Structure 1
Amino acid sequence: MSAFATRFAPSPTGLLHLGHAFSALTAFEAARAAGGRFVLRIEDIDRTRVRPEFDAALLEDLEWLGLAWERPVRRQSEHMADYQAALDRLKARGLLYRCFRTRREVLDEIARAPHGPGDGGLGEDAKGAVFRGEPLPGDREAELLASGQPYAWRLSLDRAREALNGFDRLRFVEQGRGPLDETGVVAVDPMREGDVILARKDVGVAYHLAVVVDDALQGVSHVIRGEDLFHATHIQVLLQALLGLPTPTYGHHRLLLGPDGKRLAKRNGAPSLRDLRLDGATPETVRARLDLSTA
């Protein structure tokens, strides 16, 4: 029996569009070709943005496309204890620190420092931002905690490097291509991503930590996703090393672009699969339009 297992992990914050369909079908067809497993995971930890109607709609759209997956579907919101356990392990090793800076303060700090390809934990509008911080003195931290000041837990890259005796041995196998044609064995450079956020008050755990825990628990051997997530791999491989988790093989595929040359996205007006269905599209016409042979 094949040990190959891959996944598609959408967030129910909107309707799926052609870019999502391309990624889901690319992973699904890879699993089918290998005689392996295809896992669907719902990444719904950000309860401020997810909606039940979008959760139901994405399942309907994926079934309409002809995809099948293992049951039950793993929803991240139902497994917060798994992520908290991983977070506690990192805290116990002194690898995290509390960051009390506001978003504005972090952006101001980044403006005074060299930039890299990460986002400093600030999201899509801060691409290129890298934040490096340090723990506050104990008395100042105690003062802010007593006042109820909100904070995020950040991964200290300096402490992580010490714990692993450097990052030189960290590698991952890229079977696709990164944005700069990276392929084959890739050396990991977590410093380019900065001290990323692993947990915050409004969302108990952040993306990077949740996905590495999920991939390990679900036995994912191959992560197949868009090249916009290539740089995230550097931090995720670091977290796998720190937590003693296996590192999957990665495959980053091209992104679908709209007529304006920008990545298909909801905010750019990309038509949803539901809209295409209402206009008479069939699963066959959608697959033909996507041309999976060029993934």
Structure 2
Amino acid sequence: MAQLKYLLLIVILIGSSLTFAAQPQVLLAKVYDESKHGDISEYLVSEKFDGVRAIWTGDKFITRRGNAINAPSWFTAPLPDVWLDGELWIARAQFSLVSGVVRTKHPRNSDWQAIRFQIFDMPDATLPFSTRYKNYQALVKQINKQHITAVKQHRFTSTAQLTEYFEDLTKQGAEGVMLHLANAKYKSGRSNTLLKLKPYLDAEAVVIAHLPGKGKYTGMLGALKVKTPHGQIFKIGTGFSNKQRQTPPAIGSTVTYGYHGLTKHGLPRFASFLRVREGH
């Protein structure tokens, strides 16, 4: 506990030198691209929450554009006099609801009781993100209030693990994932140290083969082998219902698939089946 108090004192002293203009200087994300952003193991990865970005200045909430957020006093009372960055969030796919509550000039307690402040950074220009993550975890634990939570970060050793995490979250309705360079010190502005990965772009390709399934998909489709109009060949193994795996799109048919960017080999990243193009 003594170490935590000492840590908070240091953060408060550093935070006291931070000033807030009409629009605060915050860290902004770029789009993740496997061909440009190197080793996945260098990043801490978390869910991207579809809420309202909120900066706690030490005495009030403001948006990233500097607009005041009128939260009830009971909601902000447990927060310390330090700069925190996070998301005001209700649930997945509920952005419109939380946005409406946050924009209200005269907050209603009944509305705010559904909101959580999901902290994802405790800005400090002297510390790497891996340490800042530990700091905000410790702070949230000390606050010990249900409506103030710490966004959990994960480490992965391969893009395959990132893919599995990304697909699992987005299937549950998540907006996407965030990748934060673990050794990066805090710096405002749009930066490669913070990356976002969201679904999805879409495109079409022609089915050229059916690949057999394994395990629970034995006797059914495992993946489609497809060819793009530019001659690129790759596999689509996710996005199918069991019925579609039992009766897959015909060879020669054109399918629409979703993807997010390109791999370092120029192939669609996280390709997932969407539908068969009508008329084919």
- Shorter-chain TM range is under 0.3
- Return the structure number with greater strand share: 2
Q: Provide TM-score, normalisation by structure 2.
A: 0.20
Q: Provide TM-score, normalisation by structure 1.
A: 0.20
- Return the structure number with greater helix share: 1
Q: Which structure has the higher relative contact order (CA within 8 Å, separation 6+)?
A: 1
